[in-house]
Amino acid sequence: MLDKKKVVLAYSGGLDTSVATMWLKEQGYEVITMTADVGQQVDLEAAKQKALKSGASKAYVMDLKQEFVKEFVWPALKANAMYQGTYPLNSALSRPLIAKVMAMVAKKENAGAVAHGCTGKGQDQVRIEVCTNALNPELDVLAPVRDWHFSREAEMEYAQAHDIPVMATTASPYSIDENIWGRSIECGILEDPWNEPPADAYTLTVDPWNAPDHQEFVEITFEKGIPVALNGEAMDGPSLIQTLNEQAGKHGVGRIDMVEDRLVGFKSREVYECPAAMTLIAAHKALETLTLDKKVLASKKELEVKYAELTYEGYWYSPLKEAIDSFVDTTQEYVNGVVKVRFYKGQAVVRGMKSPNSIYQQNLATYSEGDAFDHAAAVGFIKIWGLPVKTWKQVHKDKMPVEIFC
């Protein structure tokens, strides 16, 4: 029988989860923390010790970078997943993985509950809870910060009173979430859309104005829609992404400042840094134009919107998302080739591409010697293509302006 007073807490080491650990302990729970290494810039051993100091009886620290990239980032890249066409879902993609691993730890520890540090205004609460319910409906899901109803200022006071060190301060109260796919920054001065994000909000990218005055090129090799090499050098997923984060970031690529529609019903100003994500999505989209059929591209673009929405809304483990995955995987069979991208002053621009599976035929597209297109065939094609419109207008003459139709 599951122990309902034993809880596995998704622990980042930030303000919310640090105070949640102590608060849960004060409510009579045995708290086991789980810190997921998904490529964030954090001292994992320090996070483990901090969790224990904050009241945890046991602290798991798990290297999930390979699984995160293979099972979550690459499927999203193949789907060109961008919520509202702008946000590459870096934070949203890690939540179903965190829910999965928490459920696994809960099973190992015979815990009857899992917990997270989300507030009642965030969408992460929905993602984690919906994913947890999909994976193991028997687990209770606790949300101490949401149930506590404390402001961030009150959380900081609680942390100070319980001798819990936290990075957030009243002078710099950013809420940060980071993984290898990108960095999310919110709260504080950023809550007013009129305010320009301060320089200290960014760590992965330089200001485009201060980026190098020279352009830099990178060649990205894709196999079945997945990037496998940079400049001809084969790399595993995390290494490739990290290299691109550094290379694109130093040119100021990947800064996003948007007002997004949150799942819980209101608009929120969000700032992101996603150098590798923005570069790879641009390159992947370009390669698809070279290798995919027109109607496949059109249908895929429609499903990409739905895919991003499902991910954002916590439906990663839904049957619809899994069905779209099957469609996307089919389309990626021939998305192979090399894309050349130029970095310069905040921009990642595709400047060339080639593919052994290209359906672009130069002898059909050229206007020069060697043109293989049958120009004579165009006459009959135009006549048949325009016949429905012509027939309609011939019948409905009253709909035509008198000065045109005689």
Do 327 and 201 lie in one domain? The reply is yes
CA 12, distance to chain mean position in Å, is 18
- Per-residue pLDDT band for 148 (boundaries 50, 70, 90) equals confident
Which of 146-150, 170-174, 300-304, 310-314 is least confident? 170-174
Q: Are residues 199 and 140 in the same domain?
A: no
Mean pLDDT of the chain: 91
What average pLDDT does the segment 291-313 reach? 97
Last residue of a domain, one of 173, 191, 211: 173
The CATH number linked to 11 is 3.40.50.620
Number of domains in the chain: 3
- Using one digit for the tens of pLDDT, what is the confidence trace for 48-73? 998 998 899 999 999 999 999 999 99
> What's the CA gap between 204 and 117, in Å, rounded?
25
Q: Does residue 213 have a known ligand-binding role? A: no
Residue 172 has pLDDT above 70, yes or no: no
Residue 15 annotated in ligand binding:
yes
Q: Is 127 annotated as a binding residue?
A: yes
Q: Given pLDDT bands bounded at 50, 70 and 90, which one contains residue 111? A: very high
pLDDT of residue 147: 84
Residue 366 lies in a domain: no
106 shares its domain with 204? no
By three-state DSSP, how is residue 354 classified? strand
Residue 366, H or E segment: none
Residues 228, 158 within the same domain: no
140-142, strands of its sheet edge to edge: 58-63, 30-37, 3-10, 111-115, 140-142
User: Which pLDDT score is estimated for 67?
Assistant: 98
Residue 145's pLDDT band (cuts 50, 70, 90): confident
Instruction: Indicate if 241 and 124 belong to the same structural domain.
Output: no
327/379 same-domain check:
no
> Residue 96 CA to chain centroid, in angstroms?
12
Distance CA 165, CA 18 (A): 8
Q: CA-CA distance, 224 to 230, in Å (whole number)?
A: 16
Give domain status of residue 110, yes or no: yes
Q: Is the pLDDT of residue 325 over 90?
A: yes
Q: Looking at residue 245, which CATH number applies to its domain?
A: 3.90.1260.10
Q: In the predicted model, is pLDDT for residue 319 greater than 70?
A: yes
Together in a domain, 221 and 248: yes
Residues 146, 33 share a domain? yes
Reported pTM = 0.91
- Compute the distance between CA of residue 104 and CA of residue 85 in angstroms, rounded to an integer: 33
The pLDDT assigned to 168 comes to 52
Is residue 39 part of an annotated ligand binding site? no
Q: Which residue has the higher pLDDT, 372 or 99?
A: 99
Q: Are residues 7 and 152 in the same domain?
A: yes
> Is 16 labelled as part of a ligand binding site?
yes
Q: Determine contact, residues 220/338, Cβ cutoff 8 Å.
A: yes
In a domain, 308, yes or no: yes
Q: Which residues are catalytic?
A: 16, 95, 124, 175
Amino acid at 325: D
Q: Tell me what percent of the residues of the chain surpass a pLDDT of 70.
A: 95
Whether 344 contacts 216, CB under 8 Å: yes
* 333 and 185, same domain (yes or no): yes
Q: Do the annotations mark residue 119 as ligand-binding?
A: yes
If you average pLDDT over residues 319-331, what whole number do you get?
A: 98
Examine the pLDDT at 35 and tell me if it is beyond 70. Answer: yes
What is the end-to-end Cα distance of the chain in Å, rounded? 86
Tell me whether residue 13 is annotated as binding: yes
Q: Is 184 annotated as a binding residue?
A: yes
Cα 329 → chain centroid: 18
Residue pair 353/286 in contact (Cβ under 8 Å)? The answer is yes
Same domain? 108 vs 81? yes
Asked whether residue 360 is domain-assigned, the answer is: no
Of 166, 173, 90, nearest in space to 127 by CA: 90
> Is residue 362 a part of any domain in this protein?
no
Give domain status of residue 348, yes or no: yes
pLDDT of residue 404: 64
Among 148, 173, 198, the domain-final residue is 173
- Residues 345-399: pLDDT tens digits? 999 999 999 999 999 887 656 677 777 677 888 888 899 999 998 888 888 877 7
10 among annotated binding-site residues: yes
Cβ-based neighbours of 168, under 8 Å, separated by 6 or more = 14, 15, 152, 156, 174, 175
Lowest-pLDDT range, 8-22, 219-233, 298-312, 361-375?
A: 361-375
Q: Are 103 and 36 contacting, i.e. CB atoms less than 8 angstroms apart? A: no
Q: Please check whether residues 251 and 132 belong to one and the same domain.
A: no
Label residue 178 exposed, middle or buried (CB < 10 Å: 0-12, 13-18, 19+): buried
Residue at 404 is within a domain: no
Domain that holds residue 191: 178-354
Tokens read off for 120: 């009642």
Determine, yes or no, domain membership for 363: no
